[in-house]
Amino acid sequence: MQAKSLLKKLLEAESEEDVVAVLSSEGLLQANNRWKYLGNMPNNQSIVHGQQSTPSAALVEKFTNGLDAILLKHCKARGIDPRSAKAPANMADAIDRYFGDLSDVTKIRSLAEDNLILYATGSKSRPCLSLYDAGEGQLAENFPTTFCSLIYGSADGSYKGAIPFVQGRFNMGGTGVLPFCSDKYKLQLIVSRVPDEVAKSTGHEWAYTLFCFFASKQNPSWKYLVGTDGQIQTAGSGALALVPKLNAKSGEICAPRERMVSSGSLIKMYDYKAPRSNICGELFKKLQEYLLCPSLPLRIIECRESYRANVMGVNVWDRFGIWSRSKKLEAGFEEGASISIKLDTGEIIPAEVRVFKSSEGSGSEEDQPQTGLRALINGQSHAKRDAQFFRTKAVDKEHIAGSMLVTLDCSELGQDSRNNLFMSNRETFREDPLLLELFKKLQKELHDHEGLIQLNQKRYEEKIKNAVDDEQGISALEELLSTDPTLADLFGSKTSGKVAARTSTDGVGGKIEGDPVPFKGLDFPTFIYRRDKSTCVELNIPRGEITRVSFLTDVKNNYFSRQKHRGMCTFEGDFEPSFHLYNGKLTFTCSVDKHLEIGRTISTKILISDNKNSGPFHLSLSIKVEPERIVVEETEKPESSPKPPKVQAGPSRPDIIEMDKGPDAPPLTIEKVPNTERLQLVLNTTSHFLDDAKKMRPKEEELAVGFVFKYGLALTAMGLLDSMKKSDEWQTDESSCRGKVEESAKGIARVIVPLCLSLPKKLPKQKG
């Protein structure tokens, strides 16, 4: 059934109120015969509401569907069955075949404007968002098994389920936007036409439908609009004006539907719950959090006059490249240092480590860094952990944790492994043995990574370089501890006594004068060998233990994780180690199963190559299994044994230093000294809590107020730490425990001065 005028009215409608007015004027809203259940499922809201948790995450699924459609168009236009052996093997292969090298950043905008566009129209408070893709489109008769289906597409299963080079699998993610559309009816318009070169004809028409939510106590459901004949309505075969014009000038406001297109799909989401701002600002940043390195760029255009600004169009594309070119990353991590995790399934997950420069917090708002752990599939974030992941004992990189970004490229995982690692909403990790294995191996690599160890140490030195000691306070603390064994115990000592003197290096170690020569790797390796030029290593390793073996090379740090011309490392033998590459050292992590028989020799042959015919390089590792190390437990000596003379030992306690951190910083923080188990209390001498306390006391008591505030707070924090150390949580997440003590210190900071200076004067006197 053709109905051009209705489509024109729906495209021009810019709010739920406008759409309802159109439907009411056509007598459609209450016409039950004009609506069919989405997915042919009554009460389908359980599926729709089980998708993404935020409006931006849901929008990313629309981008993913558009990207899939574009790749399918190029495949079908060449006469290739997407499920056949002639089709691309994966998305990276499809991009390479159909778009070639995308490293030229000057071509990215035109590529995006030709293929994927998100633009905003409507009101200032709630935009209508429209996403256009120049993809394969759908014929009217196929809408029920594609756009309008849920989970089950047809007798063949999910529409994209068996196609290796697209990302859609579950046939439902695109419905994630519906709960974030207009308030009452959750409205979404879909318009689509198949390209002539795919349809092999010219007479087929544009097809369209409208999704609408019908509330009901018994059967709340989304439905889609059909014609009087029960079929998807059409609007002719001529080109439609669906997108803004090409090559708009900076700051120019474009008409939203000016450029004519002959095919593709447009999704219009009415009154979408997007940030109340120019979509090239906050929404752009939110989308970038999910699309760190998408396979194709997305063009975002603001078409609302009410949000006129200097920037009215931006590209979502390759954040990694932007960070590298803008010098935001630490040396050695500019392109992502490679780590490779070998799972017990036989699959490999390449990882990349980036560390932002410490001054990044004061950088421009235009391109703030992202941190934490993120799992990516084809450049799209699927699940994450925050920076706390790097503060745990298993990683122990506290001083750079807030600057680290580690990405796991899960694009090549099989569907079973993906299902084990991720929930179907693509936002959340699934707690599964496979995830635990992945995290354990990754944590080990990060913990022992030489570049991260050095950088963590460097950041610690930078933190404390302006710290000072209060000698008078330290002296008073020494006297207090020497007379009070209970307080001494808080600092870890079994006997009371003087505070141990600070070592000359503060745990930092010596320095070599001069600037280090930066490592500049090659795009492809010319050698991989040991210092003596050998390529074979024999090791003796006790059962159940781990050791590391390094080889020298001259290739860039991202050789094993980059998208183009990625290095391949294959193993043949008894074991397959994980490995990482950093500044000319390729390091393998070898472990020996505790169940292997003693004396057995296990070995593996390693082949390293790439599609540019580097090498190939042949390495080999051979391990002889030795007995477990015997741990000798200390036993009490017989009574007759002579006792060694007592030595007055100083308490082992964290250093207490003072720093000017500003009025809004916490009054006390607890730092970990790198490569030790020592803690360090950092007192903020410019805390607003201290300033407030001084204002409450006479001027002549200012020194006393400062002393009580600093050392009363320090002692209280140590008491809380002592209690925390006895908990199970301390063993698994020490960093969080210290964070809780820091939070408690904020409350204590409000009362510590009046408690110590005022309360003693009001102590009750013994009568008689």
pLDDT tens profile 162-196: 788 988 665 666 788 999 999 999 999 999 999 99
Q: For position 195, what pLDDT does the model report? A: 97
- Percent pLDDT > 70 in the chain is 85
- The pairing of beta strand 585-591 with beta strand 188-193: unpaired
- Residue 231 and residue 144: Cα distance in Å, rounded? 9
pLDDT tens profile 9-30: 999 999 999 999 999 999 999 8
Handedness of CA 648, 651, 652, 654 (dihedral sign): negative
> Tokens 């995982």, residue?
413
Mean pLDDT of the chain: 85
Task: State yes or no: pLDDT of 221 exceeds 80.
Answer: yes
- Edge-to-edge strands of the sheet including 380-385? 380-385, 372-377, 404-409, 348-355, 337-342, 578-582, 585-591, 546-553, 528-529
Task: State yes or no: pLDDT of 67 exceeds 60.
Answer: yes
Q: 768 or 243, which is more confident?
A: 243
- Residue 626 and residue 634: Cα distance in Å, rounded? 24
pLDDT tens profile 326-357: 888 999 999 899 999 989 898 999 999 999 99
Task: State yes or no: pLDDT of 668 exceeds 90.
Answer: no
pLDDT tens profile 731-752: 878 888 888 888 888 888 888 8
48 close to 212: Cβ distance less than 8 angstroms: no
- Residue 397 and residue 448: Cα distance in Å, rounded? 10
Tally of CA atoms within 13 A in the half-sphere of 412 that contains its CB: 18
What is the residue type of 418?
R
The three-state (H, E, C) secondary structure of 682-743, written as one string? EEECCCHHHHHHHHCCCHHHHHHHHHHHHHHHHHHHHHHHHHHHCCHHHHHCHHHHHHHHHH
- Residue 759 and residue 329: Cα distance in Å, rounded? 52
- Residue 92 and residue 375: Cα distance in Å, rounded? 17
Window from 211-220, 401-410, 701-710 with minimum mean pLDDT: 701-710
Window from 389-403, 570-584, 625-639 with minimum mean pLDDT: 625-639
Q: 646 or 324, which is more confident?
A: 324
Q: For position 515, what pLDDT does the model report? A: 59
N- to C-terminal Cα separation, the chain: 105
- The pairing of beta strand 313-316 with beta strand 116-122: unpaired
Where helices occur in 301-371 by DSSP H, the ranges are 319-325
Q: For position 393, what pLDDT does the model report? A: 87
pLDDT tens profile 104-118: 888 999 999 999 999
If you write DSSP's letter for every residue of 170-239 in order, what string do you get?
A: SS-GGGGGGGGS-TTT--EEEEEE--HHHHT-S----EEEEEEEE--SS--EEEEE--TTSS-EE--SS-
- Non-local (6+) Cβ contacts of 213 within 8 A are 45, 178, 184, 185, 186, 220, 221, 222, 223
- Non-local (6+) Cβ contacts of 491 within 8 A are 481, 499, 651, 652, 653, 654, 718
Q: For position 646, what pLDDT does the model report? A: 43
- Non-local (6+) Cβ contacts of 69 within 8 A are 133, 135, 136, 137, 264, 265
- The pairing of beta strand 404-409 with beta strand 372-377: parallel
Task: State yes or no: pLDDT of 497 exceeds 80.
Answer: no
607 strand-pairing partners: 570, 618
User: Within its chain, how far is the Cα of 191 from the centroid?
Assistant: 34
Task: State yes or no: pLDDT of 528 exceeds 60.
Answer: yes
596-600, long-range: CB within 8 Å, 24+ apart, which pairs?
A: 596/543, 596/625, 597/625, 598/543, 598/625, 598/626, 598/627, 599/624, 599/625, 600/624, 600/625
3-state secondary structure of 76: helix
Task: State yes or no: pLDDT of 264 exceeds 90.
Answer: yes
Complete domains list, the chain, with CATH: 4-87+124-245+252-272 (3.30.565), 320-360+368-461 (3.30.230), 482-498+654-762 (no CATH), 528-626 (2.60.40.10)
380 close to 60: Cβ distance less than 8 angstroms: yes
**Max mean pLDDT range (500-509, 514-523, 545-554, 674-683):** 545-554
- Non-local (6+) Cβ contacts of 390 within 8 A are 373, 397, 398, 400, 401, 404, 406, 446
Q: 123 or 707, which is more confident?
A: 123
pLDDT tens profile 396-453: 999 999 999 999 999 889 889 998 999 877 788 999 999 999 999 999 999 999 999 9
Q: What is the DSSP letter of 490?
A: H
Window from 166-170, 618-622, 650-654 with minimum mean pLDDT: 650-654
Q: For position 586, what pLDDT does the model report? A: 94
Considering just the CA atoms, what is the radius of gyration of the chain in Å?
Answer: 32
Q: Which helix (H) or strand (E) holds 589?
A: strand 585-591
| CA distances, 479 to each of 287, 364, 584 (Å) | 58, 49, 52
Average pLDDT over residues 223-242: 95
The pLDDT confidence band at residue 642, using thresholds 50, 70 and 90, is low
Backbone φ, ψ for residue 644 (5° rounding): -65, 150
pLDDT tens profile 534-563: 999 999 989 888 889 999 999 999 999 988
- Residue 296 and residue 723: Cα distance in Å, rounded? 53
Q: For position 647, what pLDDT does the model report? A: 39
